[in-house]
Structure 1
Amino acid sequence: MNIIGIIASPRKTGNTAWIVNKILEGAKEQGAETQAWYFSDLDIKPCRGCWGCHQGDQGCVIKDDMQKLNDAIDQANAIVFGSPIYMMQMSAQAKIFIDRLFARYSPRYSPYFKEESAAQKRLILTFNQGNPDSGLFQSYIDYTRHMFELLEFAVTEVPVVTGMRNGPAQERKDLHTVLKDIGSSLVAERSPE
């Protein structure tokens, strides 16, 4: 099983990176192959809104690191996507990534037709926030989950780590086991191929 982590944060060693990597660690301990992708290491430009990706078979007209990330997504059985919550929503890096998915996974708003490429991709969507109130941004989190579901990803879990203003996630002993268990369960619940 191949699981990739996408860390949509400007900080390579921040809370988002630690959370995604801890989930990947749990999956790796169960035999999965894992790889983390850091937005701080990638050159991914914003969508131009040119619709070139939907005119013929050329794909996205922007040639940058999104092609490498798309290849990794194609090879993955599951994705762990992490973003901090900034200004009540995902980071700018996360939004750029999501907008660029349009070239390959634009919503059809139809339950009757699914492409294999996205329909079988399981996704764990994880957020972290400074505020300790886990329900504060729930409407946005639900919206984001629904958006990924419209893109035909199977969102299996949405862990939200709160209270980041009180210290780094890695210092919270309660999170170590919880996050690794999420990664382990992703491998244990693997659907037959």
Structure 2
Amino acid sequence: MKVTVITGSPHKKGTTALLADKMIEGAQEAGHEVFRFDAAFENVKPCLACEYCSSHDGECVHKDSMSDFSHQLVEAELIVFVTPLYYFGMSAQIKAVIDRFHASNAKIAGSKKAMLLAASYGPDDWTMTALEKMYESMLRFLNWEDAGKLLATGCPVREVLEQTDFPQKAYEMGKALK
């Protein structure tokens, strides 16, 4: 299976970097092809809603990292979103990538699976509710199937996350991909 992992954290060794690393490790051990796109370290301009893509076969007016990345989205069978929780939603870095899906909607809608891996400072059971709703709405719009969620609440820093079973769960999610 072709797996594309999109990360949204500006911390190369942070909580969600660990979740992404573990999920990728499991997926690769299971024989899957994995491509990782670290949005915070790429040149991704925000969508302008200019509709240039509508009259140019999905090509965006911006010539940035998304130009090369868009073919990965089209080819992927599974898209994994990995984000820290920033004020009850995805980070701006990963959201900018998702907003740019607009140019490829016709090419990426249907017959894909998706996963959500997230980490938050807050431990409350409602902490991830808004993030989950956004993810579920995106899947509904794109007609993608949910392949799983891992919501690591109460993990403000990597050292705390490392003391939980969340990294192992991320690994197992990758290993169990079919």
Alignment pair present for 1:164 and 2:152: no
The separation in 1 between residues aligned to 2:26 and 2:160, in whole angstroms, is 16
Alignment of 1:75-86 (within 5 A): 75-86=75-86
Alignment pair present for 1:90 and 2:90: yes
Q: Offset at 1:66?
A: 0.4
Q: How does the TM-score come out when normalised to structure 1? A: 0.83
SS of the residue aligned with 1:49?
coil
**Greater displacement, 73-82 / 124-133:** 73-82
- Give the match for residue 175 of structure 1: 166
The separation in 2 between residues aligned to 1:166 and 1:14, in whole angstroms, is 7
Alignment pair present for 1:128 and 2:115: no
User: Using a 3 Å threshold, how does the CA distance of structure 1 residues 77 and 92 change in structure 2: closer, same or farther?
Assistant: same
Alignment of 1:1-193 (within 5 A): 1-57=1-57, 59-105=59-105, 117-165=108-156, 167-168=158-159, 171-187=162-178
Unaligned runs of 5+ in 1: 106-114, 188-193
The separation in 2 between residues aligned to 1:35 and 1:140, in whole angstroms, is 23
SS of the residue aligned with 1:132?
coil
Q: Offset at 1:56?
A: 4.0
Unaligned runs of 5+ in 2: none
User: Using a 3 Å threshold, how does the CA distance of structure 1 residues 51 and 169 change in structure 2: closer, same or farther?
Assistant: farther
- Give the match for residue 111 of structure 1: none
Q: Is the 8 A contact 2:25 2:171 kept in 1?
A: yes
- Give the match for residue 190 of structure 1: none
User: Using a 3 Å threshold, how does the CA distance of structure 1 residues 82 and 167 change in structure 2: closer, same or farther?
Assistant: closer
Q: Offset at 1:4?
A: 1.9
Q: How does the TM-score come out when normalised to structure 2? A: 0.89
Cα deviation digits, residues 125-169 of structure 1 (max 9, x gap): 122100111322314412322223212222221211111126536
